[in-house]
């Protein structure tokens, strides 16, 4: 192993400058995990290429020597998608951080994968344009990682996920070939590989350029902050708003645990005595926003909201959002560790599912703070635990697995925007049938016949599923028979 590592280092030094190659243990330590910090593993090497040609040469070398390659962006992912392996090269795209072009006429931006999400909107603002997907980690996460995980954000209800907001990609495959996918127009010839690559979690290629769609900044945006004395009533309000034909730019819910943590951290003016709050943002032309605000206010009052605040200006609107976007770090201040889940369910099951999560919380003796995209049913239960207590991480993982099974049982899915990675790979065996998983593997083999790109992530082997013992519960119905399926 050591001799092959030394040989690889020697050959990589012919491709990249010495400062772009890390192999000492203290150099590798910062790369041992991503945002899912419960799992840690040092890579064999870290390479930080500076040019496309260097990436091509690295991929050709790794393909020839059968060395696994794991791409990494900012490391903010929450499913272990960038977790390295001891036999792997970790390919950091941190140096690919340029915005290459902003086209005001065609409303697109061409960017490298290491560009931070928020930087696109900051650069486009002078043209009265912005990039819509806005994950809570947007000040740190990179657009390449957003594409790899198909990230969403608080405004995905109206404006869609990453896949709906990009028009083309350039990737380098495992053989080092540069491939263009998609087009800057509304449609392109051939199969839609753009959708296939988005959310592929680094299993199919290395993303080295993204063309994103830009939108005109809405003339007006208003947020209603509604407090409720029960989660069930807040959930009903979400359903009523959508049923009324209103599609908010964002429709977010937080339970009391999350509200109290966020308010102590961000001082956003949240009512800490509320059992749940809703943040409902409406945007568009001023007359339209005013009319929808009035209509939404009446719907929230009819749903028994105990208090409603309406942002008076853009500054106050951003303050309301500040608490929601800071919810994850805020919860991190009140617990030694937390485990962030990411399941999606039909909206009509919000109240039932949250009630079951509360029951599971009591059963496992672990507190939960719920923060989620209520408008599209994307849940983010944060399980609070202490990894220093023997057995508590394992109990937390089991609890998290029950939440995923719960989501599947009501017709939902195990991920909304964080990806599968290693965290949920076993639960792929529950969500999908043997034939479906085999089809996924065949697609990967087309792009990566020797399974060198991010191996061991997202798509389980059939033997792993057999060991997990889950193939016979494909639908998951018997797990939670009291919950109606979609």
For residue range 126-183, list pLDDT tens digits in order: 999 999 999 999 999 999 999 999 999 999 999 999 999 999 999 999 999 999 999 8
Class of domain 99-216: alpha beta
Evaluate if residue 481 carries a pLDDT over 50.
no
Q: Are strands 178-182 and 166-172 parallel, antiparallel or unpaired?
A: antiparallel
Q: Name the fold adopted by 335-479.
A: Alpha-Beta Plaits (3.30.70)
Q: Are strands 129-130 and 215-216 parallel, antiparallel or unpaired?
A: antiparallel
Give Cβ neighbours of residue 416 (< 8 Å, ≥ 6 apart). Answer: 152, 342, 343, 344, 373, 376, 377, 378, 379
Estimate to the nearest angstrom the gap between the alpha carbon of 418 and the chain centroid.
3
Evaluate if residue 56 carries a pLDDT over 90.
yes
**Domain locations along the chain:** 2-92, 99-216, 220-330, 335-479
Report the pLDDT value the prediction gives residue 1, as an integer from 0 to 100. Answer: 57
Query: What is the distance between the alpha carbons of residues 338 and 261, in angstroms, rounded to a whole number?
Result: 13
pLDDT in tens, 11-44: 999 999 999 999 999 999 999 999 998 899 999 9
Evaluate if residue 332 carries a pLDDT over 90.
yes
Of the options 1.20.970.10, 3.30.43.10, 3.30.300.30, 2.60.40.420, the CATH number for the domain spanning 2-92: 3.30.43.10
For the chain, what's the residue count?
Answer: 486
Report yes or no: 165 and 133 within 8 Å, Cβ to Cβ: yes
Split at pLDDT 50, 70, 90, the class of 408 is: very high
Report yes or no: 219 and 284 within 8 Å, Cβ to Cβ: yes
Q: Are strands 129-130 and 166-172 parallel, antiparallel or unpaired?
A: unpaired
Class of domain 220-330: alpha beta
Give Cβ neighbours of residue 202 (< 8 Å, ≥ 6 apart). Answer: 70, 71, 81, 82, 148, 453, 454, 457
Are 220-330 and 335-479 equal in CATH topology?
Answer: yes
Average pLDDT (428-447) is 96
Q: Are strands 45-47 and 21-22 parallel, antiparallel or unpaired?
A: antiparallel
Burial 100-136 (b: 16+ CB within 10 A, else e): eebeeeeebbbbbbbbbbbbbbebbeebebbbbbbbb
Report yes or no: 483 and 353 within 8 Å, Cβ to Cβ: yes
Q: Which of 130, 135, 164, 132 is nearest to 152 (CA)?
A: 135
Split at pLDDT 50, 70, 90, the class of 2 is: low
Evaluate if residue 3 carries a pLDDT over 80.
no
Report the pLDDT value the prediction gives residue 183, as an integer from 0 to 100. Answer: 83
């Amino acid at each position: 192993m050591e001799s092959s590592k030394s040989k690889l280092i020697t050959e990589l030094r012919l491709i990249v400058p010495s400062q772009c190659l890390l192999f000492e243990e203290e150099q590798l330590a910062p790369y041992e995990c991503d945002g899912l910090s419960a799992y840690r593993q040092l890579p064999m090497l870290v390479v930080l290429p500076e040019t496309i040609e260097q990436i091509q040469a690295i991929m050709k070398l790794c393909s020839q020597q059968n060395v696994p390659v794991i791409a990494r962006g900012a490391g903010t992912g929450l499913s272990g998608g960038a977790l390295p392996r001891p036999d792997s090269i970790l390919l950091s795209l941190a140096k690919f951080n340029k915005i290459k072009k902003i086209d005001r006429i065609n409303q697109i931006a061409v960017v490298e994968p290491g560009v931070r999400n928020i930087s696109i909107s900051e650069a486009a603002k002078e043209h009265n344009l912005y990039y819509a997907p806005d994950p809570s980690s947007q000040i740190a996460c990179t657009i390449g990682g957003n594409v790899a995980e198909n990230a969403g954000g608080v405004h995905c209800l109206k404006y869609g996920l990453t896949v709906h907001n990009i028009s083309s990609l350039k990737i380098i495959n495992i053989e080092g070939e540069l491939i263009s996918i998609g087009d800057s127009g509304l449609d392109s010839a051939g199969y839609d590989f753009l959708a296939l690559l988005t959310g592929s979690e680094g299993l199919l290629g290395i993303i080295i350029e993204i063309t994103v769609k830009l939108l005109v900044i809405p003339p007006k945006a208003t947020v209603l902050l509604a407090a409720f004395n029960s989660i069930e009533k807040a959930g009903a309000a979400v359903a009523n708003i959508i049923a009324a034909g209103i599609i908010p730019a964002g429709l977010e819910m937080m339970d009391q645990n999350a509200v109290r943590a966020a308010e102590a951290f961000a001082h956003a003016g949240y009512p800490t005595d509320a059992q749940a709050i809703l943040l409902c943002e409406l945007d568009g032309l001023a007359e339209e926003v005013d009319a929808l605000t009035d209509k939404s206010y009446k719907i929230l009052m009819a749903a028994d909201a105990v208090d409603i605040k309406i942002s008076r200006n853009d500054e106050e609107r951003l303050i309301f959002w500040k608490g929601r976007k800071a919810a994850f770090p805020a919860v991190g201040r009140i617990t030694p560790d937390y485990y962030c889940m990411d399941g999606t369910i039909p909206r009509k099951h919000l109240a039932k599912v949250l009630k079951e999560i509360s029951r599971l919380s009591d059963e496992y003796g672990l507190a939960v703070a719920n923060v989620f995209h209520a408008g599209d049913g994307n849940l983010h239960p944060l399980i609070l635990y202490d990894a220093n207590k023997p057995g508590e991480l394992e109990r937390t993982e089991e609890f998290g697995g029950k939440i995923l099974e719960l989501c599947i049982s009501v017709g939902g899915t195990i991920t909304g925007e964080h990806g599968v990675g290693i965290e949920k790979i076993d639960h792929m065996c529950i969500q999908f049938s043997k034939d479906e998983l085999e089809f996924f593997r065949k697609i990967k083999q087309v792009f990566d016949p020797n399974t060198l790109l991010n191996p061991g992530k997202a798509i389980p082997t059939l033997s792993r599923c057999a060991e997990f013992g889950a193939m016979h519960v494909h639908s998951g119905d018997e797990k939670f028979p009291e919950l109606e399926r979609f």
